[in-house]
Amino acid sequence: MKRSLFSILLFCSNFLVAQKFEQVAKTPPMGWNSWNTFACDVNEDIVRKAADAIVNSGMKDAGYLYVNIDDCWHGERDSLGFIHPDPDRFPSGMKALADYIHSKGLKIGIYSDAGWKTCGGRPGSRGYEYQDAMQYARWGIDYLKYDWCNTEGLKTEGAYLTMRDALFKAGRPIVFSICEWGNSEPWKWARDVGHLWRTTGDIWPCWDCEYNHGSWSSWGVLKIIDMRGDLREYAGPGHWNDPDMMEVGNGMTAEEDRAHFTLWCMLAAPLIAGNDLHTMSEETRQILTNKEAIAINQDELGIQSLIYSNQDSLEIFAKPLSGGDWAVCFLNRSKDPKDINFKWKEQTVIDPLNNLSLDFSRNTFKIRDVWEAKNAGTSAATYKTKLAGHSVKLLRLSIQ
C-alpha cells in the first residue's frame, strides 16, 4: 500500500508541461460503443462478442478499430481511490478484457464522467482523475469517453483539462473524447484538450424527431445535423466535431441508415457504430463497411463538408478530398421523391476556409456513384436521377 501511495504522489508531482497526445486520431476514430444497444446492461461477454464481430464481419478490415465500453462497467474504489470493474459483470477484470481485444488487433475504450457520479449512477472521476488515468494506463486502455453528468459547480474547460493532464502524465496514448453535449461550445476551446467533442445531445434512431426523456431530449439524424450550424472550421486531424455515435441498424429504414452513414462520412465525423454487431443484418453490415464511403470520411485532409445548396428539401454537401478529388452528396430531407437535374457546367463550389474551389467550367470530372459502386459518367453531362425520400446520392469526383 505504501508503494502505491508513493506512486500516486510521484505521479501527481510530475510538473512536465501537460498536453494531449498528438499522435492519435489523425483521422476520425472508427469503432463501436455499447450504449445505444445495451445501455447499462453491459458485461464482458457482450464486449468480447462485439470484438469478435468486428473481426468476423469485415468491419476491422474496413477500418473499425475501437471497442468502447460505455457507462455502468464500474465497481467500487479501493482504499487508495483506484476504480475497479463490477466483478459480476466483468469477472475476468479489465486488463484481461483489454488483452483479449488487443489480441484481435483492435483497441479498447472505456467511459467515465467529470462529475461525482456517471450518468448511470456509478462512481465518477471527480477528485480521482489521476488514479483513474493511472488505472486506465495499467489496464491498457486506448480511448476514454468522458461525460458531464452530476457536475454541479464545476467549470467545463477546467474539468476536462484536469483529466487531459492526468491522462498525459499516465504516459499511455489515449484518445480523449469530450462528451459535454456542446453546451459550452467546446469546439472553441477543446482543440488542445481532446481529440473529439460532442456537438449535441444524444442521438435517437429516427430521421427527424425529438425523443423527450422528461428533463432532457434525444434527437433524430436531421435534428443533430441542423442543431449547431456550421462548425467546419473547427474540425481537422486530431480535433473532430462529434455529432454522436451512429444509429445504423437500430430501427430506421435502410435508406435512412444509408443517408445517416453518408452524412457522418461527409462531416468527417467519428464513425462509432452503436448497433448489436453480433446480430446485425447483411444490409446493415454492407452499409457500415462500404469502403468507398469510409475513404471519404477518412480522407487525410480531414476537411468537413460545406453546404453548397439547400432548396425545397434537397440539400447538397461538398467535401474537398486529397489529390484534387471532391465528394458531393445530394440529400433528400423529405419523404417524397425528388428529381435531380444538376447541370455541373453551371456550378462553381467555393471553399473559402481552405482556399479550394470546384469549377466545372474549367475542368471535367469523372463521377463515381459510391453506393451503386459504379461509374456515372462525367461532369460534361447533366446529372439526372430520382432520389427517394429520406435518401442520398453520394458521388466522388475526380479530374478526368
User: Which pLDDT score is estimated for 331?
Assistant: 98
φ, ψ dihedrals at 157, nearest 5° = -60, -45
Amino acid at position 154, single letter: L
Q: Span 244-273, mean pLDDT?
A: 98
Look at 13 and 144; give whichever has higher pLDDT.
Answer: 144
Rounded distance, CA 343 to CA 355, Å? 23
* Mean of all residue pLDDT scores within the chain: 95
Q: Between vectors from CA 295 to CA 293 and to CA 301, what angle results, nearest 5°?
A: 125
Active site (catalytic) residues: 147, 202
For the cut 60, the answer to whether the pLDDT of residue 9 exceeds it is: no
**Predicted confidence (pLDDT) per residue in 306-354, tens digit:** 999 999 999 999 999 999 999 999 999 999 999 999 999 999 999 999 9
Residue 18: which pLDDT band, with cuts at 50, 70 and 90? low
Q: What is Dmax (Cα atoms) for the chain?
A: 76
User: Which pLDDT score is estimated for 13?
Assistant: 46
φ, ψ dihedrals at 8, nearest 5° = -65, -50
For the cut 50, the answer to whether the pLDDT of residue 166 exceeds it is: yes
- Say what the pTM is: 0.94
User: Which pLDDT score is estimated for 284?
Assistant: 98
Residue 216: which pLDDT band, with cuts at 50, 70 and 90? very high
User: Which pLDDT score is estimated for 2?
Assistant: 47
The C-alpha cell at 206 is: 429516427
